[in-house]
Chain A
Amino acid sequence: MSAGAAARILGFEADGKTREAGARARSRPHAGSRRADGRHAVRFVLGVLIPLGLVLGWELATRAGLTQGRLLPPPSRVLGTLLALAQSGDLRLHVQATLLRVALGFVAGAGLGILAGAVTGTVPLMRHLVDPGLQALRAVPSLAWVPLFILWLGILETPKVALIAVGVFFPVYIGVSGAIASVDRKLVEVGRIFRLSRWALARRILLPAVLPGTIVALRTGLGLGFLFVVAAELMGASEGLGYLLVEGQQFGKPDQILAAILAFATLGKLADALLVFLTRPLLRWQDVARDVL
């Protein structure tokens, strides 16, 4: 998706031609050059250096007989378990169950969070009415809701999704309302000078201005979604990666526990990368320190 297409879906500015040309002009020096590719490769190697070293050390330590490997199975055994799970089709089943819960909870929590943040951020009356209550609820550790959710919603999927949604809601709500509160008054005045209606002001100035903060909030929310799916599945499930954890504990299979953890890490990282990839075209204009550090 080009920046122009993405921006038009969000409906900032209609001048698609210039926008796309701008995006192309900007992306050319990056995507095209071999130096940039090289830098990406170097960064990737740097990123995996320490984890890979640890894994290798661990494997060698087990092989050398330094540890027994019964409670702390070597990476090869963990991978073997993961592969076996994948081949039997069990892994797919569990991953699907977990992803579905995270997706439903994330969509519900993030959607409500954006809505609540936008309303309280733009309508002072709603802020005074709703924000104190939500701040008080936020102080409750989300896991404290579990017994209530089970009483209210039964033990099947609904309480799990509800728990995840609660976990996702708060960081998104805080992030969005904070982003709206910190929109630069000077840019809002530009909109006033051009006599934008309330709606046009929201669409053409507030929305793009809060986008970076909102995306950060969504990433935080997604991370918490994965955190809470574990909690939800630990409290009783017959499928899902969290179920693999519980089962691994009950039957004394540390390799299965580690395989599930590995799967969680991979899924979480992939989901975050997907979110970043999908939203990056929207933020190409940003002038941030990350590019120079």
Chain B
Amino acid sequence: MLTIQDVSKTYADGTEALTGIRLAIPPGEILALVGGSGCGKTTLLRLVAGLDTATAGTIRLDGAAITAPHPGVGLVFQEPRLLPWLTIAENVGFGLAHLPRAVRRERVAHVLARVGLSAHGTRWPRDLSGGQQQRVAIARAFVADPVVLLLDEPFSALDAVTREDLHRHLLALWAETRPTIVLVTHDVAEAVALADRAVVMRPHPGRIHDTVVVPRPRSGDSDVAFAATRSLRALLDASLGRITERAAVPA
């Protein structure tokens, strides 16, 4: 269980990025964080990853407070951040240096196959497209077998078709070990396609606006997905201070 208890973050320059964030995320849940630009989504992920420390409140994973990067928590940044001097396979295996080489190679090969990049293991990052690089970043996080995986808008730079492809890859990887996933996204359809629950945030200061539960099973064009998409969109509009026709219609 990942619990975020009354977490606030004020940066050194006085920016109030987050206030009073409270969330409990059960194991295996896929949670989407939705919200306009600057509402503190990246800040929240960095706190959970232990890269920054909260100004107030605590973040706990199975009871233990997270104050520094934690072996069970993986993070995929908003950009791929591959190490340019390592091949694709070496990048994926970066977090496995403690394992024997044979084991490492096998796990890297497995996860590369999962993201459809088996043929690219010996290439350099510069030779890959943006979408391929992002898949490598996802593979690098998954291969370390995290309990909690944080994804910061991993698909935002991709076209719709590639994105749906990657959704499938992500769900396939998730199904293997069922880690808790916190996924930041701007895309309502993406939140509905992947998440069990979507949390809408609002800015100045960053806080939680509301939550939408997306029941399973569902497919992209089911009534459930349609209703969830509509209410999420209305909430997102409201969180940004925009009252629209959609918001006037009860979901």
Q: If A186-B77, A205-B83, A285-B85 touch, does A22 touch B101 (CB 8 Å cutoff)?
A: no
- Residues 73-91 of chain B: 1 if any A CB is under 8 Å from the residue's CB, otherwise 0? 0110101010111110110
- Residues 206-219 of chain A: 1 if any B CB is under 8 Å from the residue's CB, otherwise 0? 00110100000000
Spell out B's residues near A (CB within 8 Å): 49, 51, 68-69, 71, 74-75, 77, 79, 81, 83-87, 89-90, 93-95, 97, 101, 104-105, 121-126, 144
Within 8 A of B (CB), among A147-200: 186-187, 189-190, 192-195, 200
* Pair B124/A13 contact, Cβ less than 8 Å: no
- What's the nearest-Cβ distance from chain A to residue B244, in Å? 37
Consensus secondary structure, chain B interface? loop
**Which residues of B are found within 8 Å of A13, using beta-carbon distances?**
86, 90
List 6 A-B residue pairs with CB atoms under 8 Å apart, sorted by A's residue number. A13-B86, A15-B101, A18-B121, A22-B124, A190-B77, A200-B97
**Which residues of A are found within 8 Å of B90, using beta-carbon distances?**
13, 15, 18-19
What number of A-B contacts does a CB cutoff of 8 Å give?
76
**Which residues of A are found within 8 Å of B94, using beta-carbon distances?**
190, 194, 204
* Pair B85/A12 contact, Cβ less than 8 Å: yes
* Pair B97/A208 contact, Cβ less than 8 Å: no
* Pair A18/B95 contact, Cβ less than 8 Å: no
- What's the nearest-Cβ distance from chain B to residue A279, in Å? 13
Distance between Cα atoms of A165 and B36 in the complex (Å) = 57
Would you call A25 an interface residue if the criterion is a C-beta within 8 Å of the partner chain's C-beta atoms?
yes
Distance between Cα atoms of A34 and B153 in the complex (Å) = 45
Would you call A21 an interface residue if the criterion is a C-beta within 8 Å of the partner chain's C-beta atoms?
yes
* Pair A195/B86 contact, Cβ less than 8 Å: no
- What's the nearest-Cβ distance from chain A to residue B111, in Å? 14
Distance between Cα atoms of A209 and B95 in the complex (Å) = 18
Distance between Cα atoms of A287 and B83 in the complex (Å) = 12
Kindly name the residue among A15, A189, A286 whose own CB sees the greatest number of chain B CB atoms within 10 A: A15
Would you call A14 an interface residue if the criterion is a C-beta within 8 Å of the partner chain's C-beta atoms?
yes
* Pair B93/A22 contact, Cβ less than 8 Å: no
Distance between Cα atoms of A190 and B49 in the complex (Å) = 11
Within 8 A of B (CB), among A1-21: 12-15, 17-19, 21
- What's the nearest-Cβ distance from chain B to residue A204, in Å? 8
Distance between Cα atoms of A262 and B33 in the complex (Å) = 68
Q: If A15-B93, A285-B85, A287-B126 touch, does A186 touch B69 (CB 8 Å cutoff)?
A: no
**Which residues of A are found within 8 Å of B84, using beta-carbon distances?**
285-287
Smallest CB-CB separation from B79: which chain A residue?
Answer: A186
- What's the nearest-Cβ distance from chain A to residue B70, in Å? 8
Distance between Cα atoms of A127 and B74 in the complex (Å) = 34
**Which residues of B are found within 8 Å of A193, using beta-carbon distances?**
49, 51, 69, 74-75
Contact of B97 among A14, A186, A205, A284 (CB under 8 A): A14
- What's the nearest-Cβ distance from chain B to residue A10, in Å? 10
Kindly name the residue among B69, B71, B86, B97 whose own CB sees the greatest number of chain A CB atoms within 10 A: B86
* Pair A194/B144 contact, Cβ less than 8 Å: yes
Q: If A13-B90, A192-B69, A194-B144 touch, does A25 touch B83 (CB 8 Å cutoff)?
A: no
**Which residues of A are found within 8 Å of B87, using beta-carbon distances?**
18-19, 22
* Pair B86/A14 contact, Cβ less than 8 Å: no
* Pair A208/B77 contact, Cβ less than 8 Å: no
Would you call A30 an interface residue if the criterion is a C-beta within 8 Å of the partner chain's C-beta atoms?
no
Smallest CB-CB separation from A285: which chain B residue?
Answer: B85
**Which residues of B are found within 8 Å of A70, using beta-carbon distances?**
none
* Pair A25/B123 contact, Cβ less than 8 Å: yes
**Which residues of A are found within 8 Å of B126, using beta-carbon distances?**
285, 287
**Which residues of A are found within 8 Å of B144, using beta-carbon distances?**
194
Kindly name the residue among B77, B85, B89 whose own CB sees the greatest number of chain A CB atoms within 10 A: B85
Would you call A92 an interface residue if the criterion is a C-beta within 8 Å of the partner chain's C-beta atoms?
no
Would you call A269 an interface residue if the criterion is a C-beta within 8 Å of the partner chain's C-beta atoms?
no
Q: If A13-B90, A18-B122, A21-B122 touch, does A187 touch B83 (CB 8 Å cutoff)?
A: yes
